[in-house]
Each structure stands twice: as C-alpha cells, then as structure tokens.
Structure 1
Amino acid sequence: MIYGAMKFFVGGPLKLAFRPWVEGLENVPAEGPVILASNHLSFSDSFFLPAVLDRKVTFIAKAEYFTTPGVKGRMTAAFFKGVGQLPVDRSGGRGAGEAAVKSGVDVIERGELFGIYPEGTRSPDGRLYRGKPGGLARVALATGAPVVPVAMIDTEKIQPPGKVMPKLMRPGIRIGRPLDFSRYNGMEHDRFVLRAVTDEVMYEIMKLSGQEYVDMYATAAKRQIAEAAKAQKQAQKEQAQKDQGHKEPGHKEQADKEQAGS
C-alpha cells in the first residue's frame, strides 16, 4: 500500500521528468524471487530502477537514513521505507555483512525482488569496480534465486557530487538475462565459489554497461582518491605559505645583503 503510493508519487514524476530508457525489461520475471545485481553510479540508482519495474524491489540502505533525528530525519526515514529500502548497519564489519545477507534471504524467501550493488558503494569515477563476494553470491547460493545483471547508464551525470540541482537528461537501464548458479548449490561457504559467482556477475554487468573494469574494490579506490586530494591540498597550502614568505617586508633587503656578502 505504502510502496504503491510512493511509487505513484515518486516514480511517476521521475519517469515523466527524466524519461529513462530501458532495454531488456522482459528479463525480469513477472513473479517469483529474483536478485537484481546492478552497478552503482549514483544515489538515484535506487529510484530509477524501481520506477521502471512493475514489481516491488527492495534494496539495502545505510541505517543512518532511518535513524537521523528531527523532522527531516523522520521524513527521510518514511521516504526510504516507502520506496522499499531496508535499514542495515554497515559499520560493524562481519556482523554487518551477516545482517545484509539475512535481509536479502528474507526478501527472496517472500518471493520478491532483491536489489543489491555488488561493488558495495558508488563508483568514485564512473568505472566498474571489483564486486564483493560476501553479499550477492551468498544470497544467491543460499536461496537458489536467479541473478539478473543490471547496468545503470549515465545516472552519475544527473547529479554529480556537490551539485544540488539535478541535470535533466535521460539515464538508461540495461537489463541482462537471468544467471543460474544452481550448479553451486550447498557451496555458499566456499570462498572460491563465492568469488567465481561474483566475478561472473560483474563480467555480465561490464558487458551491459560498457564501463572500464578496475580489479580493485571501490572502497579502496575512494580511499586512494581521498588521500591524493589531501596530499594535494597540503602541497598547495605549503606553496601558498612559501609564496607569502617571499612577499613579507624585508625579504628583498635580506636577500640583497646575502647576495652582497657572497
């Protein structure tokens, strides 16, 4: 009921304003449990994909979206619950991973669509990063549900980081054929199998999206980018201080004396 209302009031205007194009919609079964595994370019991915589907899709969202105090926090929590997001505390290491897997299994056991981003976080630069095997593969092997690869196209260009107003442009959604991993039944605790399943899904997403693939985790890439930005900022600060020192009164006179003395 709530999901239907939110889909009408959010999904309808979203489709009208941005007119997302879709390929492969027929690859999402009309009924039965399915895992939708997508690349992750933008915060809006979790809204554009449900907007074009006839079925409810449930994603995992950061618990902070549901626990922020105040009126704005309560409105945000209500919105995320309304669009089918599940709160999961992802700050607790292994415990967080177990909670995410359990949430996914619960959704699948209800015969619904479970949406997951194997990269674990948004791409920092538009490239496709290595998938994490702990969530997607474990849910797929524990439930036997088919995995449908999904590629979001150009969603990162609509509202880049730091931009308040979104840019009106057409994002794309390309949906691949379901992948069957029943050959690995009972092997959800084998790390080599989990890695193989995840890599196969990421390969299909790469083919659908056309993204450059980077064989490292997006979290590590974000850390490298942040460290590089910090180092650059520090270098600029030091250069500014050096330049300021050359402009201080008496600097020229001191330099002249040193030159005369030599």
Structure 2
Amino acid sequence: MLGLLRVLILAPLFRVAFRPTVIGRRNVPRRGPVIIASNHLSFIDSVVLTLLAPRRVAFLAKSEYFTGRGLKGWISRTFFTAVGAIPVDRGAIQAARDSLKRGQQTLEAGHAFAIYPEGTRSRDGRLYKGRTGVGWLATATGAPIVPVALAGTENLQPVGKRWLRRAKVTVKFGNPIWLQDIELPQAQAQVRRALTDAVMGKIHGLSGQELADSYNVPPNKDAIEG
C-alpha cells in the first residue's frame, strides 16, 4: 500500500509541482540489487532520488522520523516509509558500520539502495573525495553501481529551511558500473578505494562540479558517513 502511495501520489505530485529534468532513467536496472551512488547537496536528495528513479530506492534516515507521536508522528512515519527510508540510529563509529550492514541487507534482498560516497552534504557545491563504503557494498554484494548527479536540490531545500522552494532540479543517472568490467587491484582494501574513485569520477563527469581534493567534514559528529 505504501509503495503505491509513492508511485500514484507522491512521485506524480513532485513532478507536477517542480517539473524536474530527469536524464538516463533507463540506466537503472529494473530488477535485482543496485547501488545508487550520488553526489550530495541537500537533505531532500534521498527523497528526490526515490521519487524520480524508475523503481523504489531505499535510503537511510534518522530513527526520529519513525518514532514521533500523534498526527505529526504518523504523517512523518507514513511518508518516510512510503519513500523507502530505513530507520537508523545516528552517532558513533558503530552506527556507521551498522548503516552499511543495513545497506548490505537491503541489496541482498534484491532492492535498490542509495548511498552518498561524500558522506555528508557539500556546503560549497564542490564534489568531495569519496569514502569507501560504496566500494565495500559493491564488493560484498556484487551489486552494480549507478552513478548519479543531482543539481539544484540545494536550492529546492536550502540548509536550515524546513519547506521546499521552487527550483530547477536535474537528476542524471549514469551507466551502471559492473565489477567485472573494471580492472581492479588484488588487495581488498585497494579494490574498495579504486572502485570508489571510479564511481566518483563518473559522478564528476555527470555533475561537472569543481573537485575538492579532500574529504568532506560533517558539521557535527552525529552525521552518518557513507
């Protein structure tokens, strides 16, 4: 029922209200596990991805969205469940590891899972160095990776704003990256790094963002890194 809410109401409503440009939807495999690896500009990115992708895309969201009481809590819980959010506790290194495990379980169940290799939102619009969680997920599950470039979502919901604004949003889905199609080193840790760098290269090619030769540092210690 909640899946139909996304397909029949939320996704069409978003398209009509904001008229986003979507490129390459056919690049997303319709069945089987797939990792959606995207740049990260806004809190709303995960919702945009799952509403505009050709299939339901699961993503991690803080558990507080699922535990509220009353009508407001019910609306929040229903909405985030409908768009594919998976509740996860924030904070601590163990929480980050648990997040990757939840992603692995989602992929092994044959679903699509979104991850942001930068780890946290880019506040200056640059594309930061990718963390190797995406490489770990790909090697652990064998799932292909679809690189994605988002543009304009930082204007759709600027930092610190609760409500959406009218903004031009573009989503580009790149060609899937299959492990067997990439020449990778033998050492496992090097494989994750090389694969992550390859994914970030594809995202950069799609987005055209200025590169930052460093990791992005989250604004607080409670952020979950991908």
Aligned to 1:176: 174
Q: Is the 8 A contact 1:20 1:48 kept in 2?
A: no
Q: Which residue of 2 aligns with 1:56?
A: 56
Alignment of 1:39-188 (within 5 A): 39-68=39-68, 71-93=71-93, 95-133=94-132, 135-182=133-180
* Greater relative contact order (CA < 8 Å, ≥ 6 in sequence): 2
Query: AA paired with 2:203?
Result: I
d(CA) in 2 for partners of 1:184 and 1:111?
Answer: 25
User: 1:218 matched to which residue of 2?
Assistant: 216
Decide which structure has greater helix share.
1
SS at structure 2 position matched to 1:161: coil
**Which residue in 2 is equivalent to 1:13?**
13
Query: Runs in 1 of length 4+ with deviation above 6 angstroms?
Result: none
Q: Secondary structure at the match of 1:218?
A: coil
CA displacement at 1:70 relative to structure 2 = 5.3
CA shift digits 1:188-238 (9 cap, x unpaired):
x83222111111111110110011111222226x47xxxxxxxxxxxxxxx
Partner of 1:2: 2
Percent identity over the alignment is 45
Q: Which runs of 5+ in 1 are unaligned?
A: 224-262
The size of the alignment, in residue pairs, is 219
Residue 191 (structure 2) aligns with: 193
How far the C-alpha of 1:158 sits from its partner, in A, is 1.7
Letter matched to residue 79 of structure 1 = F
RMSD over aligned Cα, in angstroms?
A: 2.3
Unaligned ranges ≥5, structure 2? 221-226
Q: Which of the two has higher C-alpha Rg? A: 1
TM-score by length of 2: 0.87
